Structure 1
Amino acid sequence: MTVSQALVEFLAHQWTVDGGHRERTIAGTFGIFGHGNVAGVGQALKQFAVQDPALMPYYQARNEQAMVHESVGFARMHRRLSTFACAASVGPGATNMLTGAALATTNRLPVLLLPSDTFATRVADPVLQQLELPHDAAITVNDAFKPLSRFFDRVSRPEQLFSAALGAMRVLTDPVETGAVTISLPEDVQAEALDVPLEFLADREWHLRRPAPEPEALARAVRAIVAGKRPVIVAGGGVVYSQASAELAAFAEATGIPVGTTQAGGGAIAWDHPFSLGSIGSTGTTAANRIAAEADVVIGIGTRYSDFTTASRTAFAREGVRFVNINVASFDAYKHGSSLPVIADAREALVALREALAGFTTPQEYRDEIAGEKRAWDATVDAGFIDRRLERPSQTEIIGAVNAASDPRDVVVCAAGSLPGDLHKLWRVRDELGYHVEYAFSCMGYEIAGGIGAKRGADDRDVIVMVGDGSYLMMHTELVTAVAEGIKVIVVLIQNHGFASIGHLSETVGSQRYGTRYRYRDDAANAFDDGPALPVDLAANAASLGVSVIRVEQTPNAIADLGAAVAQAKAATGPTLIHITSDPLLFAPDGEGWWDVPIAEVSELATTQAAKADYDRQKARQRPLLG
C-alpha cells in the first residue's frame, strides 16, 4: 500500500469508547487537492470510494481554514469523541489551516490536520510553493504548525507512518492533551509504497479516561466549601464535554450553591434553573457578577479561567477568596495559584462532591439573595427583548426575537464581534448542547463553517448561525458547501455596516470608532469615519451562492418579520440566510463586567485622556487571585 492508502484505512478503523458508547474517532475526511496531495491522499480517497464507499466518507470544502472550523464545530457537538481529518496541499493550502489549528488547540477540541509538505528527497528543490530559507534547509511552512498543535510529526520516511499515526490518535482521544493534531506528509512520501502489518489496519479502540478525584484532594475541597458562607460555581466547557450537566444541576439543588457559566460552559445548566446566575465575567450578568464579587469560595469546574471569565481578574474581589479548581488537566486545575486543585473528570468529581457534602446547604439569606439577583437580571433581559418597533432594531431585540422563535434543542452558533458578548448575557439556553459560541480564539469567519460542522454533528437539531457583516465577509464561502450537500443551516446575518464590537471598544479606549466603519475612504482625513454606508448587498451575495434568502426590510415591523423569517427558515429543507439591519449604537444591558484593554499612557486626544483616567480606576480593582 502507499503511505496515504495505509493512513486512510487506518483512520477508518479507529474508535473512541466512552463507557458503553462507541463511535468513529475520525468521522470523515475533508480535502482540497493540489499537486502536493492529489496523487497521495487524494488518490487514496478515490480508490476507497470506488472499492468501499463507506470506509472513509469524503467531503469538500471551499477554504482550508473553513474545513478545520467545520471539524471543530462537529467535535464540539460530539463532546470531543469524534472529529474529522483535513487534508491540504503544499504551501498556501497547508498554511491556510494555521488559524484553524490555533482555534482547535485554544478551545481544547480535537481535529486531525494532514498538510502536505515538500519533497522529502529534495530531488526537485525548490518545488512550486516551497518556502526557501538560506539558513535552514530543513524548515518548511509546516513547521509553523508546531506551536499551534498538541501533537506534530513529519513522515519523512514511509516507516514513520506507524508511530506518527498512533501518536496522533493518542492525543486526539485524550481529554487532557487534545487539540489540533498535525501529521505533515511530504508529497513524495505520500505516494511511496510500504508493507503494512494487518494489525495496523485492524479496528482499534481508544477508551476515554474519566479520572475520579483523589480522596485527599476531595477532602481538602470539601473542608474549604463547608467553611465558606458564599460559595459560587464557575462552570466551563468541561461540564458539557463530560456530560455532567445533570450532575451539576443536582449538585446545585442539593447544596444551594449558584452557578455562573463561561462561554464554553453555556448550556451546562438551563437558564431558568433556580441556581443559574447566567454568564459570568466580562460578558456576564449582574446576577453572576454581583454574587461573584462577594464569593469566598470559587468552585471552578472544567474551566480554563480566561480573562473574560475572571473579568480580567476583577470579578472575584473578596479578600481571602479561595479557588477549588476541578479539572481533568492539571494545567488548568492549578491556575490562580490554587492550593485546592482537584484533578478529575467533571462528572466524576460532582458525584463525589455531592456525596461528601451530604447535609450541607448554603444559608437561607444567601439563597434569597441569589433568587433576588436572578429575578432582577431576568427582568432586565425581558425589558431589553421588548419590540420597540424600530426600523433598525437593537442587537438585543434581534437576539430576543431569534431566541423566542427557536426550539429548546436548537443550537446557536457564533464566534466574534459584539454578538458573543450579547449572546452570553442574553441567550436563554435550554439544552446542554444548545449554545455553541467559539470564544477561546474568537475567530472571525468561524461562524458559518462552524455552524455547518455543528449541523453535521447534530442533524436532528436546527442550527442557527448568528453573524455580523464583518465576520460574514471574512469567510462565507462555505455556504456553497451547505448548498452542495443540502445542509439545513439557518444564518441570521446582522448588517451594521462595520465592526460593531471593536467600534464600541474603540470608543471606550478613546479612539472614537476609528477604522471600524464600512465607509468610503476620505483621503484628506486618512479615515473611513464619515459618509454614507457602502452599497454592499450581502443578501444578494448569499443568493448568488445558491442559498435561499429572506430579507427583513427596515420597517417598524422588523422584529416581528424576523420571528416569522426564523419560523420559515426552520420549515425549509436546505440552507437559509436571513438578512436584517441593526443599529450598532444601541447596546445590550450592562452586566457590570470589565475587560482589561490597555490605554495609551500619553495622548494629545482628550477622549484618550479621559479613557485612561477611567482605565486607571478599573485597573486598581485587579488582584493576583492567589487562592
Structure 2
Amino acid sequence: MAPAIRRMTVAQAVVEFLANQYTVDGDYRERLIPAMFGIFGHGNVAGVGQALKQYQSTDPSLMPYYQGRNEQAQAHQAVGYARHTRRRATYAVTTSIGPGSTNLLTGAALATTNRLPALLFPSDTFATRAADPVLQQLERPDAYDVTVNDAFRPLSRFFDRVSRPEQLYSALLNGLRVLTDPAETGAVTISLPQDVQAEAMDVPAEFLTPREWRIRRPEPEDEDIRRAAQAIRAARRPLIIAGGGVLYAFAEAELAAFAEATGIPVGNTQAGVGVLPWDHPFSLGAIGSTGTTAANALAAEADLIIGIGTRYEDFTTASRTAFQNPDVKFVNINVAALDAYKHGSSLPIVADARKALVKLAQALGGYRAGADLEQAVEAEKRRWNAIVDDAFDTRHTPLPSQNEIIGATNRSMDAKDVVVCAAGSLPGDLHKMWRVRDPFGYHVEYAYSCMGYEIPGGLGVKRAVLHAGEERDVVVMVGDGSYLMMHTELVTAVAERIKLVVVLIQNHGYASIGALSESLGSQRFGTKYRQLDEDRHSFDDGETLPIDLATNAESLGVKVIRIEPGTGAIAGLEAALKEAKAAPEGSGPILIHIESDPLLDAPGSESWWDVPVSQVSELDSTRTAFATYTDHKSRQRPLLG
C-alpha cells in the first residue's frame, strides 16, 4: 500500500503534482502539463531544477524538461502549444529570480491578452530573509515585501506567492482552476521563493494522485436564445463576426451549417481565421482594419451583428467605424461575460459557442436571409478575390512585394500546414489575403502582436503537432525586425532537431510602422535600418546596414536557403519551400531568406484604424494627415446596441 504521507521538497511536490493533472473535454483526455521549460539560476537550480533532475533519473516520462534560450520565448512556446491544442494543454516554465523572472513578463502579458493558458513559476527572494538583500533583489524603502514578481499581478489571470510550504496546495489547485477555465484562462503565475522551493514538507498522497480538470462548456439560457432569434428574424442585413472562441469550442462545423441554413455571411477576426475555408460561399474573410473589402462592405450596411467568440478589439471594429447602419444592434455570444456584454449589447449570451449555435439554429427553424444579401456576398467576394489574385500575381523586380511572397508561400503549403506570425506588416497582410483551408492552418498572435513571438510560438505549435502525431508542416513568416528580437530559439530547434520552416523577409527596417508613420505625416521616422548620419543625427537616409541575417542563422546551425533578388525570386521561393517541405522530420530547422520592397503595399481594406495625429505641427505632411484623421473620427460611433 502506498504511504498516506510522503516527505519531499516543495519543488518535488510541484513537479509530481503537475505530472498528474489531466484535461477532460467530452471523451477527450490529455495531460494538462506535458513538459516543463526552464533556465536555471540561483533562484531555482537547487529547487525545481533539482526536482526535474531527480525525476529524470528515476522516471524520465514523469515531467520531461526542455531547454530554451530566453524565458520570454519559453512562455511563447507554451502559448503556441496551447493555441494549437485549443487550450486543452500548455507548458510550465520555471525561472530564476530577478531578470530570469522579469523576462517572463512579456510572455505573461501575451498569454493573458490572447486568453491562452501558460503556467509560470518565477523564483523569488528568500521568504525567511535569512540572506537579505539577496543577489538581484529589488529593495523598496516603502514596501519591503514587494519583489519584482509583483509586476506579474496585473499581467496574470491568477497570481500567488508560496511563502510557506503549506500554501502550495491552495496555490496550485486555484491556479489550475483558472488555467483550465475558458472564461478566465491566461497566464497563471505562482511565485516560488528560492528557499521555500528546497524546503521539505509532508505531502498527502491524495494531492499527488491523478486529477481531472473538466473544461466547462456552459449552455445558453433559453430566454437569451429566444430573444436572439427574434432579433435575427427582424434583421434585413445580419452579419456574423466569428472569433477565436469558435475554434476553441470546436464549433467550425456548426458555424458552417448555421451560415448555410440561414444565408447569414461570416467575417472573421485574426483569431478566427479558419472558422470557414476561404472559398466557402458565405465566408467574407477578414473583417475590420486588416479586413477584406467584402467583409467591410457588408459590415457597413449590417443592421445586426452576431458576434461569436470575439472580444471586439479595435482592429475588428475598425476603431468603431466599421458599422455605419444607424440601427445596428449586437448579439454577442461568448463564454466570457466580459466579451458578451461588449459595446453595451442588449443581447448578450454567455455560453459555449458550439452549444449556442446549435440552439440558435433550432430556434430559427426555417429562417433564411433575403436573396439580395446572398447576391451581395457573392459580388463582394468576387471583387475581393480578383484584387488578391492581382496582388499575388503582379511581379516586381528586382525585389518582390510582400504580397507576392505571401502568395507564393500560400500556394506552396498543403491545406493542413500551419502558418505562424505575430508582428509587423505581415499579420495584417496575412489576415486579409491568406487563403486558409483548414481550421488549424493559421496561427497569428495578434492580441498582443509581440515582435519576436514568431519563432518560439512556431516551435510551440510544432511541438503540439508532433505530440498529436499530425502530418503538418509549420511555416513561420517573420520580418527582419521581429527576427532580430528573438531568433535565438532557432538554437532550441537545432538542439532538438525540430523541423521548423522559417521564411525570413528582409526589408531593412520596420515596414509596418514605416507605412503607418507615413500615413500619419511622420515620414517613416526611425523605421529604417541605416547608418547614422552624425551631422544631422539621423538614421533616415544613411547607407543600408551591412547585416547578413542568412549568415547569422547559419552560425546557429540552421540550414539556410538564400533567394537571390531578380525576376526569378518568386519561382526560387516556391522551389525552396518545396525543398523545405520535402525534408524529413527530425532534420532540424530550415530558414529561407528573401528580400522584399517595403514600399509596395498590400491591397487596402477600405477601413480605418484609430492612431491619433498631432493636432498642431510645422510639418505639412502632419497637417495633411490630421485633416484625414478628423474626417475618419467623424464616423466613429459608441456602438451601444
TM-score interval, smaller chain:
over 0.9
The aligned amino acid for 2:574 is: G
- Conserved in 2, the CA contact under 8 Å of 1:381 and 1:589? yes
Q: Pick from 218, 230, 243: which aligns with 2:225? A: 218
**Deviates further, 349-358 or 116-125:** 349-358
Aligned to 1:6: 13
Aligned to 2:439: 432
Alignment of 1:9-24 (within 5 A): 9-24=16-31
Establish whether residue 39 from structure 1 lines up as the match of residue 53 from structure 2. Answer: no
**For 2:390 and 2:181, how far apart are their aligned partners in 1?**
44
**For 1:534 and 1:198, how far apart are their aligned partners in 2?**
61
Write the deviation string for residues 275-330 of structure 1: whole angstroms up to 9, x where unpaired.
00000000000000000000000000000000000000000110010000000000
Write the deviation string for residues 350-379 of structure 1: whole angstroms up to 9, x where unpaired.
111111112000111110011000011011
Aligned to 2:547: 536
Alignment of 1:206-285 (within 5 A): 206-285=213-292
Q: Pick from 63, 68, 77: which aligns with 1:70? A: 77
Establish whether residue 594 from structure 1 lines up as the match of residue 615 from structure 2. Answer: no
The alpha-carbon deviation at position 458 of structure 1 amounts to 1.1
**For 2:618 and 2:538, how far apart are their aligned partners in 1?**
18
Aligned to 2:176: 169
Aligned to 2:383: 376
**For 2:257 and 2:465, how far apart are their aligned partners in 1?**
26
**For 1:615 and 1:527, how far apart are their aligned partners in 2?**
27
Aligned to 1:340: 347
The alpha-carbon deviation at position 609 of structure 1 amounts to 0.3
Establish whether residue 624 from structure 1 lines up as the match of residue 625 from structure 2. Answer: no
User: Following TM superposition, where does structure 1 have runs of at least 4 consecutive aligned residues deviating by more than 2 angstroms?
Assistant: none
The alpha-carbon deviation at position 526 of structure 1 amounts to 2.2
Establish whether residue 583 from structure 1 lines up as the match of residue 597 from structure 2. Answer: yes
Establish whether residue 516 from structure 1 lines up as the match of residue 527 from structure 2. Answer: yes
**For 2:535 and 2:620, how far apart are their aligned partners in 1?**
22
**For 2:191 and 2:373, how far apart are their aligned partners in 1?**
55
Aligned to 2:489: 478
What TM-score comes out, normalization by structure 2 length?
Answer: 0.97
Q: Pick from 489, 508, 518: which aligns with 1:507? A: 518
Aligned to 2:334: 327
Tell me the SS of whatever aligns to 1:10. Answer: helix
Establish whether residue 489 from structure 1 lines up as the match of residue 500 from structure 2. Answer: yes
Alignment of 1:539-578 (within 5 A): 539-573=550-584, 574-578=588-592
Tell me the SS of whatever aligns to 2:35. Answer: strand
**For 1:375 and 1:242, how far apart are their aligned partners in 2?**
30
Tell me the SS of whatever aligns to 1:507. Answer: helix
Establish whether residue 466 from structure 1 lines up as the match of residue 477 from structure 2. Answer: yes
Aligned to 1:367: 374
**For 1:315 and 1:458, how far apart are their aligned partners in 2?**
36
Aligned to 2:5: none
The alpha-carbon deviation at position 389 of structure 1 amounts to 5.0
* Aligned residue pairs, count: 627
Q: Pick from 585, 588, 611: which aligns with 2:625? A: 611
**For 2:258 and 2:533, how far apart are their aligned partners in 1?**
59
Aligned to 2:4: none
The alpha-carbon deviation at position 522 of structure 1 amounts to 1.2
**For 1:357 and 1:562, how far apart are their aligned partners in 2?**
49
The alpha-carbon deviation at position 524 of structure 1 amounts to 2.1
Write the deviation string for residues 562-601 of structure 1: whole angstroms up to 9, x where unpaired.
0111111111132100000000000011111100000001
Tell me the SS of whatever aligns to 2:560. Answer: strand
**Structure 2 unaligned blocks of 5 or more:** 1-7
**For 1:198 and 1:602, how far apart are their aligned partners in 2?**
68
Tell me the SS of whatever aligns to 2:91. Answer: strand
The aligned amino acid for 1:248 is: L
Tell me the SS of whatever aligns to 1:524. Answer: coil
**For 1:486 and 1:287, how far apart are their aligned partners in 2?**
43
Aligned to 1:414: 421
The aligned amino acid for 2:196 is: V
Q: Pick from 455, 461, 464: which aligns with 2:462? A: 455
**For 1:563 and 1:355, how far apart are their aligned partners in 2?**
46
**For 2:261 and 2:538, how far apart are their aligned partners in 1?**
58
Q: Give the fraction of aligned pairs with identical amino acids, expressed as a percent.
A: 70
The alpha-carbon deviation at position 391 of structure 1 amounts to 2.1
Write the deviation string for residues 414-470 of structure 1: whole angstroms up to 9, x where unpaired.
000000000000100101111100000000000000000000011221001000000
Tell me the SS of whatever aligns to 1:195. Answer: strand
Establish whether residue 527 from structure 1 lines up as the match of residue 538 from structure 2. Answer: yes
Tell me the SS of whatever aligns to 1:101. Answer: helix
Tell me the SS of whatever aligns to 1:467. Answer: strand
Tell me the SS of whatever aligns to 1:27. Answer: coil
Tell me the SS of whatever aligns to 2:136. Answer: coil
**For 2:22 and 2:74, how far apart are their aligned partners in 1?**
22
**For 1:586 and 1:298, how far apart are their aligned partners in 2?**
34
**For 1:577 and 1:250, how far apart are their aligned partners in 2?**
40
Q: Pick from 92, 95, 106: which aligns with 2:113? A: 106
Tell me the SS of whatever aligns to 2:200. Answer: coil
Aligned to 2:35: 28
Tell me the SS of whatever aligns to 2:333. Answer: strand
**For 1:87 and 1:66, how far apart are their aligned partners in 2?**
12
The alpha-carbon deviation at position 390 of structure 1 amounts to 2.0
**For 1:408 and 1:525, how far apart are their aligned partners in 2?**
51
Establish whether residue 134 from structure 1 lines up as the match of residue 141 from structure 2. Answer: yes
The aligned amino acid for 1:215 is: D
**For 1:390 and 1:54, how far apart are their aligned partners in 2?**
53
Q: Pick from 46, 50, 68: which aligns with 1:61? A: 68
**Structure 1 unaligned blocks of 5 or more:** none
Write the deviation string for residues 39-98 of structure 1: whole angstroms up to 9, x where unpaired.
000000000000000000110000000000000000000000000000000100000000
- Conserved in 2, the CA contact under 8 Å of 1:389 and 1:559? no
The aligned amino acid for 1:526 is: H
**For 1:43 and 1:387, how far apart are their aligned partners in 2?**
58
Alignment of 1:144-159 (within 5 A): 144-159=151-166
The alpha-carbon deviation at position 525 of structure 1 amounts to 1.8
**For 1:256 and 1:371, how far apart are their aligned partners in 2?**
11
**For 2:268 and 2:65, how far apart are their aligned partners in 1?**
36
**For 1:376 and 1:620, how far apart are their aligned partners in 2?**
28
**Deviates further, 105-114 or 379-388:** 379-388
Tell me the SS of whatever aligns to 2:202. Answer: coil
The alpha-carbon deviation at position 387 of structure 1 amounts to 4.5
**For 1:524 and 1:340, how far apart are their aligned partners in 2?**
61
The aligned amino acid for 2:546 is: P
- Conserved in 2, the CA contact under 8 Å of 1:232 and 1:299? yes
